[in-house]
Chain A
Amino acid sequence: MKSKGIAIPYVVWMAVFVVAPLVVVVVYAFTNRDWSVTLDHFTTLGQYAGVFGRSFLLAFVATIVCILIGYPLAYFLARERGRLRGMAMLLIMLPMWMNFLLRTYSWVFLLERNGFFNNLLSAIGLPKLDIINTSGAVVLGMVYNFLPFMVLPIFSVIEKIDPRVIEAAQDLGADSATVFRRITFPLSLPGVLSGITMVFIPSVSTFVISRLLGGGKTLLLGDLIEMQFLGSAYNPHLGSAISLVMMVIVLICMGVMNRFGEGEGEAVLL
């Protein structure tokens, strides 16, 4: 009974800021400019298949890179004790205290043709690289901005693994590779799944990163949606339809992933 009372503000919050906007999105998606009910927005969505494909591909690549960098980092930090760990956690959190837009802008200045990295390269006699305005730069921006959301959940899960379980495995003759493969990794999967959710969803819907680091040369889903609300093409109905389809695809992805990780613990499914 007690816990129900505590949940009330949360339920109200969810109703006002999650459920109500969702209803608005659905209403917009199925209506026209003159508010007549229509399915046109969905039937013409095929022309944006390339945008969908590209957005999901880049978000997928960014998520994989985040796992490859984030998992080992979280693993070693979780086993580390003392000052190094505190310092490392601080360094991971520190950029998040800065504004997201500002962080991305600073990458523009780093990667620009006469930016920091290229000046460094030419100072030591190497040719300049054209990094900015490529898909690679967009993925870099996603990884940089969202990496902490991969590291932190994995870290907190690995840290909580009971050391006695690992000791038991060692007592039974498992070498460290086997311990990792049979014990640590399976037990850390829930963290990985949470991390994937928290990196993949913002990556697939980002628009600032692709605008600034991708040079605005190729639209991502976020750009396409933003265009319908604040950009050159004012059509909130189409924007809502695209958002809705994106949400459904993301939900399916998450559902598949949960099935994949079943029995090991579930990722968050909104």
Chain B
Amino acid sequence: MKKLLVMVLVLSLTAGLLTGCVHSRDSLGGDTSSNVVNVYNWGEYIDESVLDDFEAATGIKVNYQMYDSNETMYSKIAGGGANYDVVIPSDYMVARLIAEDLLAPLNFDNIPNFADIDPALKNPAYDPENLYSVPYMWGLMGVIYNAKAVDEADLGSWSLLWNEKYAGDILMIDNSRDAIGIALKRLGYSYNTTDEAQVRQAVDLLVEQWPIVQAYVMDDIFQKLEGANAYVGTYYYGDYLTMYENNPDLGFYIPEEGTNIYVDAMCILKDAPNKANAEAFINYMCSTQAGLKNCEAIWYSSPLLSVREALDPEIADDPYAYPDADIMAKCESYAGLPQNILDLYDSEWIRLKTTTGNFWGLF
């Protein structure tokens, strides 16, 4: 009997540890009844009152769920069984979903507000003929530093992240696409290179950086930079503005080698149960009223021209939120990568996270 009890305990313990995975399965689904739209968006990425406005305006009920990374979203969709209508992945993931035939072409007759999208963001590299996606928010990645701890002379380049003066104070981004991308940029290569040697060279550079990195982080960066637990990191400008509110010592710059301009775009899944409602939702999100509310809630850059006009001039003229041609010329967006390069990213990322560690070094 005791054996049984212990066995059940062990089981429940293991189950508890796996809730992350279990959870992603149990919230699958989405409503398939007619007057509903199932939306799957990033966490903390909307003014939720916009959803109420949409329901009031159209009578369509919004079933809203959130994810924390493109990859999480992808694994749910690729796993099958999810009934989402609208998803809002980033550029390179849009390209991957298109390549794997998971998206439905949009009927732009039902999305008249598309006309308000900044022409510079139309026909992007990830969706060259602009058949599948409508930009939702965009922004730039850059370096965030603590002005009290970092010398002004060291600023300006991605090489700050490799500067040994700040050993143990550096936070690196914890996903292969962004981290390898930064190293590629530092070497002067394209984010979207398909040259395996260049990717390997970039990871060599990351291996070289490994000893001076304090931690590889995603959203933990807020707490670590705001609390001055680390002094240098790399993240998105919209998030920098949030951090700055909590710690005015923090500064931001766009590295001279160039940086990533990312776009999160609204798409409709191929097997979406409510396509018409999904198009109505996308159209509503492109209205000035909804765009403005979202923009003021999350501080990312809006692709809507009318929103930019309506914004407080201080924000609309912010050189990093709405950069000028000089900065834009240095920016490159992520495109979809072929499968062999994706596999190489995975194995090289594991190489970074394993071979550099001192196996026996417990401290």
Where the two chains meet, the residues of A that have a C-beta atom closer than 8 Å to any C-beta of B are 18, 47-48, 50-51, 53-54, 57-58, 61, 100, 108-109, 112-115, 130, 132-136, 139, 149, 153, 194, 197-198, 201-202, 205-206, 208, 212, 215-219, 222-224, 226-227, 229-236, 268, 270
Contact = CB atoms under 8 A, between A and B. Distances in A.
Contact of B14 (A132, A139, A201, A217): A201
A113 B229 contact: yes
27 contacts: A47-B350, A48-B354, A50-B357, A53-B359, A57-B360, A61-B362, A108-B220, A114-B227, A133-B215, A197-B6, A198-B6, A198-B9, A198-B13, A202-B14, A215-B215, A218-B356, A218-B357, A226-B21, A227-B346, A230-B72, A232-B71, A232-B346, A233-B345, A234-B74, A235-B346, A236-B79, A268-B10
A134 B361 CA distance: 9
Contacts of A61: 362
B10 A201 contact: yes
Given A229-B21, A232-B345, A217 B229 contact: no
Nearest to B17: A202
Interface in B243-297: none
A263 to B, nearest CB: 17
A216 B216 contact: yes
Nearest to B211: A217
Given A114-B229, A234-B78, A217 B210 contact: yes
B177 interface: yes
Given A112-B227, A114-B229, A216-B217, A232 B177 contact: yes
A268 B354 contact: no
Interface centre among B6, B74, B175, B214 (most CB of A within 10 A): B6
A193 B169 CA distance: 42
Interface of A: prevailing SS: helix
A139 B361 CA distance: 13
B16 A229 contact: no
Nearest to A112: B229
Contacts of B187: none
A230 B21 CA distance: 8
Contact of B20 (A108, A115, A216, A230): A230
A195 to B, nearest CB: 10
A229 B14 CA distance: 17
A108 B210 CA distance: 21
A206 B75 contact: no
Interface in B228-243: 228-230
A216 B210 CA distance: 11
A134 B363 contact: yes
A61 B362 CA distance: 10
Contact of B6 (A53, A236, A268): A268
Given A136-B362, A270-B7, A215 B216 contact: yes
A268 B78 CA distance: 37
A268 B6 CA distance: 7
Interface in B93-114: none
B148 interface: no
A206 B13 CA distance: 11
Interface string B61-85: 0000000010110110011000000
Contacts of B10: 197-198, 201, 268, 270
The list of the 5 closest CB pairs from A to B, nearest first, reads A215-B215, A216-B216, A233-B346, A218-B357, A219-B353
